[in-house]
Amino acid sequence: MSDLYCVFGNPISHSKSPVIHTAFARQCRQDLRYEALLAPIDGFAASVRTFIAAGGRGANVTVPFKEEAFRLATRLSVRAELAAAVNSLRFDGAEIVGDNTDGAGLLRDLLVNLACPIAGRRVLLLGAGGAARGVVAPLLEQRPATLVIANRNVSRAQELVQCFAASASASLLCPGGYPELAGQSFDLVINATSASLAGALPPLPAAAGIFAPASLAYDMMYGKGDTPFLAFARAQGVERLADGLGMLVEQAAEAFHFWRGLRPDSTPVIAALRARSEAGPAG
């Protein structure tokens, strides 16, 4: 019988994870089945236990269950602890092992796929929710010149910076609001807000030129065509633009490695998904 994996979320029907992991399994000659499971909003832990009882070997976890998965895990990787969220679970006997592969996925997309170094660069991270928190430690490990975290709710940005204050100096990691970005420019601007989901743009200062020459604008969301943030960057003259499709596939590759000990080649999978999404919304 094939080994069983799934992704839990709510909603989940849009998930590309089954397509990605099925492609990885074929590529790595692994006999596994991967499905998307809708967990009730108040029934995540029960859904996980039912899945384990049915023989499940591991799972991905997406919105809105990553913090709950963090609490459910009986053992955590260091990066899951730092992120305070879990996107990958492995069921080892009685243990529920939690990992977070989002930050590693973002870094691999930036460093390898997009050839965008972070060391010594000025980086701006927009947002201070779960998605932002998951990538702060991996970004800091790359030793940027500065990492500014801007959020509408400034106290949330301050709280997030506080969590990482021990690993970074005050001049390296600074919180703030959007108006304070006026007059500052960055080599890499990452949108980790959920604004794109609602077709909205974070309130960036329009005329202030936050994008340095040759900067990269990166939206952790993806969709057909430019997200509002990428459209804004393009209108500001930014030529290097990327959405979160590469990160999605790279975090999945890292999760596949966490489960199976094998690292799939993400390049053909990213290309296939890109071709599908350009073919239309149903693709």
* CA 260 to each of CA 3, 16, 58, 171, 247: distance values in angstroms, whole numbers, following the listed order: 10, 19, 10, 40, 20
Strand partners, 188: 123, 216
Shortest approach of ligand ATR to residue 132 CB, angstroms? 6
- Using CB positions, name the residue nearest to ligand ATR: 129
Residue 66 bears catalytic tag:
yes
Site for ligand ATR in 124-153 (CB under 6 A): 127-132, 151-153
The residue annotated as part of the active site, out of 57, 66, 79, 260, is 66
Give the number of C-alpha atoms closer than 13 A to the C-alpha of residue 210, restricted to the C-beta side: 27
Quote the least distance from Cβ 130 to ligand ATR, whole Å: 3
- Residue 105 binds ligand ATR, judged by CB under 6 A: no
User: Residues, the chain, total?
Assistant: 283
Task: Choose between 46 and 197: whose C-beta lies nearer to ligand ATR.
Answer: 197
Residue 47 assigned to a binding site: no
Binding range to ligand ATR, per CB under 6 A, among 107-115, 117-125, 191-199, 240-248: 191-199
Closer residue to ligand ATR, CB minimum distance, 140 or 220: 220
93 SS3 class:
coil
113 is in an annotated binding site: no
For 176-189, b/e burial (b = at least 16 CB within 10 A) is bebeebeebebbbb
Q: Give the whole-angstrom CA distance, residue 124 versus residue 101.
A: 21
Q: SS3 string of 21-59?
A: HHHHHHHCCCCEEEEEEECCCCCHHHHHHHHHHCCEEEE
Tell me how many residues contact ligand ATR (CB under 6 A): 15
Per DSSP, the three-state class of 174 is: strand
Pick between residue 193 and residue 251 the one whose CB is nearest to ligand ATR: 193
Active site residues: 66
Q: Which residues contribute to the site for ligand ATR (CB under 6 A)?
A: 127-132, 151-153, 156, 193-195, 200, 202
Annotated binding site for shikimate: 15-17, 62, 87, 102, 222, 251
Residue numbers belonging to the annotated binding site = 15-17, 62, 87, 102, 127-131, 220, 222, 244, 251
